[in-house]
Amino acid sequence: MEKVARYVGVAVEGLCKVLLVIQILTVSWVVFGRYVLNKTPRWGEELGLMTMVWFGLLSASLAIRSDSHLRLSLLDMILSKKNLKVVEWFVTIAVIGFACFLIWSGIQLVELTSSNRLSGIRISSAWLYLAVPVSGVAMLAQLLDKARKLR
Amino acid sequence: MITNQFAVMLLLGSFAILILLRVPIAFALGISSILTAAYLGMPLLVIAQGIVGGINVFVLLAIPFFILAGEIMSQGGIAQRLVQLAKALVGFMRGGLAMVNVLASMFFGGISGSSVADTSSIGAVLIPMMKKEGYDADYSTSVTIASSVQGILIPPSHNMVIYALVAGGVSVGQLFLAGIIPGVFLGIALMIFSYIVAVKRGYPKGEKLKLRSALKALRDSVLGLLTVLIVVIGVVSGVFTATEAAAIAAVYAFIITFFVYREIPLSQMNSILSNSLKTLSIVLILIGTSSAFGWLMSYLRVPAVIADTILGISDNKIVVLMILNVLLLVLGTFMDMSALILIGTPIFLPIAVSVGVDPVHFGVVMMLNLGIGLLTPPVGGTLFVGSAIGGVSIEKLSRAMLPFYAVMIGVLLIITYIPQLVMFIPKMFY
């Protein structure tokens, strides 16, 4: 599990960086096109947004791995180590529930939207919603690794 | 008035319990939205769609770019140059380095709109320098994080972009202009305060910089400072949208860092991207789940009920603004800024407008108010980063921050009740 989580983490980080670069180049190209070439490529805005949705959701799993999501730390000062561990189990299970929700509802969204087409980049809008279940899986990989370490 | 009281209690109550139990805020917002939607018998897809829809917004494309531009500049050596320039201007006074810290943050605020980025880049240069000259570690860190809030007020500022998006009909250009005087004013207040502390504690004077080195510092940093001009002039004149300005700022930062300053190799782009991604990994999911949560709040008509309650207490502008400020300060201690802008604006802005407050003015008040929230425990992004960089525990740092909170709240009250300070510059252009 540790290995899986590490590989998923590395793969997700690499993919997110690539997506971020694509987004930067796309939007810069749109701006360049608008001011210099006097035409705005229609696919530009949609591609920029789609990449942002993808790396926005996917990278949430990286912040789970590095434990950098913002949270309230009041209980840390009050509870004993043992009780804190119980709370940590609760947190992990709650977020696992959220990840499973993303997978379940994401798959439905993909099925539901597979016949819609994005007008600019002319691909199915299922590609946009595919980010939801995939991110759910990436989160789940990190969460299961966390649960294993908690044991 | 409330259509479904239990649903409201479920939404807010489950959220409160979840965050108290240390569930990360971004997920707590998502989970309580799912629970509430399930109770209401809605198709749960709505929530997943809401999360995607919250991120899938054209204006938000500005966020990765502003973060990236700030990251390129701070790794590319601009922070040191700005510190040099600030040193040339105020370093010779007693407590010089504390003032240099505030002024450098003001300059840096014109490049990056993030208080965390400001703390990590200016703090990394100045906190060690201040410690070496005999400043206390907790004081040095406090000055750094308090002054970093200027970055949110002084344009460019991605939080203002988020506010403009939710407020609807507020121009980003006007907000950018409106933030300038409050940002500089906050800096001046902090400088006066640090001067008083320095005299009291006998902190050292810095050396006087020769005119020639001062001019060199100016020449070195002027290219970086041009960013703020490009963004503000571009957006205000209507030549670019905020998103375009952000993209241009990032490209500009890239060019001057790698082709003019040439202090870092192009391969460092990898670490720049990593760091930007770290910030984005926290901010974007929060924007997604906050939008879903905020949508449910309006669906359940919570904003209208809160408005009725507050306006029921008083419809006096001064009192209402005070209530809103106190509420935002309290919420800001345990919520993150972007989440609060997304969820809080639809609730509080209509109240402010109904007693005659300009949405631009209220936006700036909200930025400073929530900026203070970034520095307060139990949840304060900038406070956490400052504690790590300065090597001071959160408890010790929060205690050292007490007088700074007082100064900042004082500034907040002044810009709340003297709207002319905020609206003066935007009125000149719009």
Interface contacts A/B by beta carbons within 8 Å: 171
* B266 at interface of A, judged by CB pairs closer than 8 A: no
B298: its two tokens? 């309006």
Using CA atoms, how far residue B22 sits from A44, B182, B253, in Å, is 40, 35, 38
Task: Pick B30's closest partner by Cβ from A88, A98, A131.
Answer: A98
User: pLDDT band at B231, cuts 50/70/90?
Assistant: confident
pLDDT band at A16 (very low <50, low <70, confident <90, very high): very high
| pLDDT at res. B168 | 86
CA pair distance B32, B213, nearest whole angstrom: 57
One DSSP character per residue, B95-149 reads THHHHHHHHHHHHHHTT---HHHHHHHHHHHHHHHHHHTT--HHHHHHHHHHHHT
pLDDT at B169: 85
Interface contact flag, B277 A87, Cβ < 8 Å: no
Q: Which two tokens stand for residue B139?
A: 């004081």
Q: Tell me the mean pLDDT in the region B74-90.
A: 86
**B 68-87 near A (Cβ less than 8 A):** 68
Q: Do A70 and B282 touch (CB under 8 A)?
A: yes
B111 vs B280: which has the higher pLDDT:
B280
Average pLDDT (A21-39) is 85
Out of B240, B251, B377, the one facing A28 most closely (by C-beta) is B251
- Find the residue in B nearest to A55 (Cα): B281
**Check: complex ipTM more than 0.90:** yes
Mean pLDDT of B323-350: 93
- Residue B229 reports pLDDT greater than 60: yes
Mutate to test the interface with B, among A70, A107, A134 (most CBs of B within 10 A): A70
User: Could A70 and B379 be called an inter-chain contact, meaning their C-beta atoms sit closer than 8 Å?
Assistant: yes
**In this complex, which of A20, A75, A97 lies closest to B277 when CB atoms are compared?**
A20
Using one digit for the tens of pLDDT, what is the confidence trace for B143-163? Answer: 999 999 999 999 888 899 999
**Is A59's pLDDT higher than 90?**
yes
Residue B65 contacts A where some CB pair is shorter than 8 Å: yes
Q: Is the pLDDT of residue B31 over 90?
A: yes
Enumerate the residues of chain B whose CB falls inside 8 A of the CB of residue A95. 23-24, 27
Mean pLDDT (whole number) for B107-134: 88
Asked if A63 and B278 come within 8 Å (Cβ–Cβ), the reply is yes
State which residue of chain A sits closest to B382, comparing Cα positions. Answer: A70
- Which long-range contacts (C-beta less than 8 Å, at least 24 apart) are formed by A36-39? none
pLDDT digits (tens, 9 = 90+) for B179-203: 999 999 999 999 999 999 999 998 9
Nearest to B155 by CA among B429, B373, B350: B429
Q: Distance from A119 to chain B by nearest Cα, in Å?
A: 15
Q: Is B344 exposed, middle or buried (0-12, 13-18, 19+ CB in 10 A)?
A: buried
In sequence order, the β-bridge partners of residue B94 are: B205
* pLDDT value for B17: 95
- Is B103 in contact with B86 (CB distance < 8 Å)? yes
| Rg of chain A in Å (alpha carbons) | 19
pLDDT value of residue B2: 54
What pLDDT, on a 0 to 100 scale, did the predictor assign at position B3? 64
**For A76-128, how does the pLDDT look when each residue is reduced to its tens digit (9 = 90+)?**
778 888 888 999 999 999 999 999 999 999 999 999 988 888 777 778 889 99
Q: Does B326 touch chain A (CB under 8 A)?
A: no
pLDDT above 70 for B1: no
